[in-house]
Amino acid sequence: MSRKHRFVNLDEVETTKTFTDFRRWQKERKINKKDLSIRIEQAPYKQIEELKSNRMDTSITWIGHSTFFIQMNGLNMLTDPVWANRMGFQKRLTAPGIAMMDLPEIDVVFISHGHYDHLDFPTIKRLKGNPTFYVPIGLGQAFKKRGYEKVIEANWYDSFEQANMTFSFVPAQHWVKRTLTDTNTSHWGGWIIENQKHSIYFVGDTGYFRGFKEIAEKFNIQTVLMPIGAYEPEWFMKVSHINPEDAVKAFLELKGQTFIPMHYGTYHLADDTGPEAISRLDAEWNRLQLDASQLRKLLIGETWWI
């Protein structure tokens, strides 16, 4: 594929912001400073030994931000692994739910897109094992030039088989930039991880878009790992980052069974805070009188056994 190829969203929805937009946001941020002292809690008990010995059961552990440790069909899998202590000028607000040294060997890594808070090569270099990396099309070369050989690139709706499971790359509404010249030269999306008993949809990073309805028509989705943070100011972020109310709307369109929120409380990437995102999520869930048992808000490092 040409290095100049630029990927686009469904309906060619544009996410580009001007320098004037950015300056306006920075001025607003100085005025509307947020209290970052209230942190998302760590799980009081980390099931590290249970996870290390698990070979059969399906588990989901929230490490923080968009990083989950998932076990299914005997495989140890990670989504967007980022253990970085800083993101740009911002220090990490909460420690990772499991220390890297306590992870078992990793078999599979899923990457949603190339932004630094989702793709951190220093983290990847420290992973135990020899994982297969499933990455959006256009990102493979970044891995291969660093010496990783087990790299599989995916375009939207590509599917792959491994260990009696199916991994499918599905659309998201976002954008990508790692350097001054590589804007949207790799794709972005989410991953659906399925075995014969269960399906997990790792949504990735996205604004609300019609793709949720399209994905629901193609897949039977049970557990949804859904972003709810980095949405303020909404005039700036809305196209690329879904807010808590729209996240609930998307979950209902997906006809999912369990909603697990993510992408909040770990890095101060926008002007909302983790507690604000959870408060708005709870308020919308209650307003719609949805089943409380379907909303599973994991503490950092908490494991849910399916």
Residue ranges making up the domain that contains 231: 47-305
In this prediction the pTM is: 0.94
Task: Please give the Cα distance from 131 to 108 (Å, whole number).
Answer: 5
> Which run of H or E residues covers position 293?
none
27 contact partners, CB below 8 Å, separation of at least 6: none
Among 174, 167, 230, which Cα is nearest to 201's?
167
pLDDT at residue 231 greater than cutoff 70: yes
CATH number at residue 112: 3.60.15.10
β-strands 223-227, 199-202 pairing: parallel
- Whether 2 is in a domain gets the answer no
Instruction: Report percent pLDDT > 90 for the chain.
Output: 77
Per the CB < 8 A criterion, the answer to whether 78 and 109 are in contact is yes
- Whether 36 is in a domain gets the answer no
Per the CB < 8 A criterion, the answer to whether 192 and 170 are in contact is yes
Q: When comparing pLDDT for 11 and 254, which is higher?
A: 254
- Whether 3 is in a domain gets the answer no
DSSP annotation of 40 reads P
Provide the number of structural domains found in the chain: 1
- Whether 9 is in a domain gets the answer no
* Span 147-184, pLDDT tens digits: 999 999 999 999 999 999 999 999 999 999 998 888 88
- Whether 258 is in a domain gets the answer yes
- Whether 10 is in a domain gets the answer no
pLDDT at 29: 72
* Span 253-302, pLDDT tens digits: 999 999 999 999 999 888 888 999 999 999 999 999 999 999 999 999 99
For residue 94, give both structure tokens.
Answer: 């909460």
Q: Is 119 helix (H, G, I), strand (E, B) or coil?
A: coil
- Whether 131 is in a domain gets the answer yes
pLDDT at residue 59 greater than cutoff 60: yes
- Whether 214 is in a domain gets the answer yes
* Neighbour tally for 282: CB within 10 Å: 14
